[in-house]
A and B are shown apart, each in its own frame.
Chain A
Amino acid sequence: MIVHTQQVTFDEELRLKSGATLKPVTLAYETYGTLNADRSNTILICHALSGDAHVAGQHSPHDRKPGWWDDAVGPGKAFDTDRYFIVCSNVIGGCSGSTGPSSINPETGRPYGLSFPVVTVADMVEAQRWLIDALDIPSLLCVTGGSMGGMQALQWAVSYPDRVRSALVLASTACTSAQTIALNEVPRQAIYADPNWNEGDYYGKEPPNAGLAVARMIGHITYLSETSMREKFGRRLQERERYGYDFATEFEVESYLKYHGNRFTSRFDANSFLYITKAIDYFDLSLGRGDLSEAFADVKAKILVLSYSSDWLYPPEQSEELVRGLLRNGIDASYVEIKSDYGHDAFLLEVERLGELTRDFLAKVERETSGPAGPAQGAPTSTGEREEKVYPLASWAAKTRGTWRLAKVEQREIA
């Protein structure tokens, strides 16, 4: 499956939760499969901390690695591109084609660096809504993702209850825990401590790769479980028969972390790492409300929550708390704790059970919820009178401040 990353730029101010604004907003996205006639078969996949829009397939036949969730997305797979129109976009704050700290600040003509405003998961979702509007998709059959992707799926169901028919939330939480904040802060400190970081002003110079590599190593530890580490590495040595009594990289696990840490620096921006982990830290759907149940009061989507037994970064207890909030509102929610030794990574790896559950869940959603419903959905509300670039989603557009227009749709491949 050959896919191309596309980009869309909105020449409109995105109002962020912090009160700051961002303009222009570019989103990189990929689509797979075909949008059906009544525009009711869209599944939005949201990526986690280090992901991007390239969820599946290859950019060219020579690509060595397919997209980050290729095991689950494709013809006949859990998210079946023969049946569904799949959309995945890079989050704002990211560094894979969407506006982020490495983008050029139009006011200075230089990369934003730390002058980039802090974004939240809700802001990421708001930008995705612009994209979904631009694609003229009235409602989403499903929004899904693991980890921070699951947060976005939940945020969608909360922010746009009339546009989300279902959410499939994997290895995630409704409220980031102290432990997760701690496990985000230590990697950030590693980046701050790298002299190359230079308060975020390093573009065009040597980037803080040492700090970013340590940050990624910590991440990799949290994605595994004690059992999977024991099985994957044990105490095995790398390229050595016996201990060297020195500080060379000698255990396999050290070599693994070092390799992944270094590899990460070639594809990820340290400032993006700071901004995205901060967005995760701020995620708390109960913020400003009495409790989680209140946060879910307006949710209409059917929701399937999956947790993984050995995931200690987003442990099953946090999913159960989330499920409690949903069930207390009478929401049609299901919950499965998948037994797995793969830790947090299980959401990417346990694709067989995921596929089975996804097919069952989506079949139920398609059977029990209607596609675009309500008077304002589907066809444009008025023809002729409106300018053609004003989107037909009148009822939702009204919720936003004024109407917005698509300034520039640019399609290009990101090699």
Chain B
Amino acid sequence: MNSSRPDLDVIVHMVSAGSRVLDLGCGDGTLLAELVAQKGVQGRGVEVDEVKVRGCMSKGLSVRHGNIEDGLADFPDGMFDVVILSQTVAYLNRPLGVMQEMARVGRSAIISFENAGYWKARGRSLRGGGAGTTLVSGQPRVRSITLPQFDEVLHHLGLQAKERVLLRGSEPVRRWPSLFADAAVFRVAKA
């Protein structure tokens, strides 16, 4: 679907056909539209940027304009089969609260993030390049998340990984993923 975001293909693969899906930080709705087309899901999105929200509307999607924290509070318990948070958790102010809420409104959650433990990231950090995005890039604040950190969060929240796909580029990584995967996609549910 998108060569720069191989995690999205993994997510599409993980979602069962016909399920009720909430995509948090859904952008212009590319992933949701793909899920509707390929899996016939009933999709809803939450997106903070007005232009992207209108992009969702032009794809025929239903979307709630607003930030993820406010948007999630609007949905009743267990309304969705899957709640998706793709490449967004690193940018949240209160990631634990959001993950808890995801577990409330959905029976399962799919979360993807960049692995800050990837050897190139570690190397850059060791060479003094710092973790996450550089200051000069002008990118928003971003949290570095490693695989052991994510496991720890799941344990802390009483969640369990039901499925996980670790990627380098678009290829799955099986050996030493903590070091060799640049991205991770987890499907989690209450333990």
Contacts and interface: CB of A to CB of B under 8 A. Distances in A.
A327 B58 contact: no
Contacts of A323: 64, 74
Given A327-B76, A336-B53, A364-B62, 16 more contacts: A302-B62, A304-B57, A323-B64, A323-B74, A324-B73, A324-B74, A327-B75, A329-B76, A330-B76, A334-B62, A335-B63, A336-B54, A357-B54, A360-B58, A363-B60, A367-B60
B66 interface: yes
Interface residues of A, number: 25
Contact of B75 (A328, A353, A356): A328
A218 interface: no
Main SS at interface, chain B: mixed
Interface in A353-405: 353, 356-357, 360-361, 363-364, 367
A332 interface: yes
Contacts of B76: 327-330
Contacts of B70: 320
Interface of A: 302, 304, 320, 323-324, 327-330, 332-339, 353, 356-357, 360-361, 363-364, 367
A336 B73 contact: no
Determine the interface band of chain B, counting residues with CB < 8 A from chain A.
10 to 19
Contacts of A337: 50, 65-66
A334 B119 CA distance: 42
B79 interface: yes
B64 A327 contact: yes
What 7 A-B pairs come out closest when comparing CB atoms? A327-B74, A360-B57, A324-B74, A364-B60, A334-B62, A336-B65, A335-B64
B41 to A, nearest CB: 14
A302 B65 CA distance: 16
Contacts of A367: 60
Nearest to B55: A360
A337 B73 CA distance: 17
B57 A361 contact: yes
B66 A320 contact: yes
Interface string B32-71: 0000000000000000001001100110101111100010
10 contacts: A328-B74, A330-B76, A332-B62, A333-B64, A334-B57, A335-B63, A336-B63, A356-B54, A360-B60, A361-B57
A304 B62 CA distance: 9
B169 to A, nearest CB: 35
A333 B62 contact: yes
Contacts of B53: 336
B114 to A, nearest CB: 30
Contacts of A334: 57, 62-64
Contacts of A364: 60, 62
A66 B74 CA distance: 40
A353 B54 contact: yes
A338 B58 contact: no
Given A328-B74, A330-B79, A336 B50 contact: yes
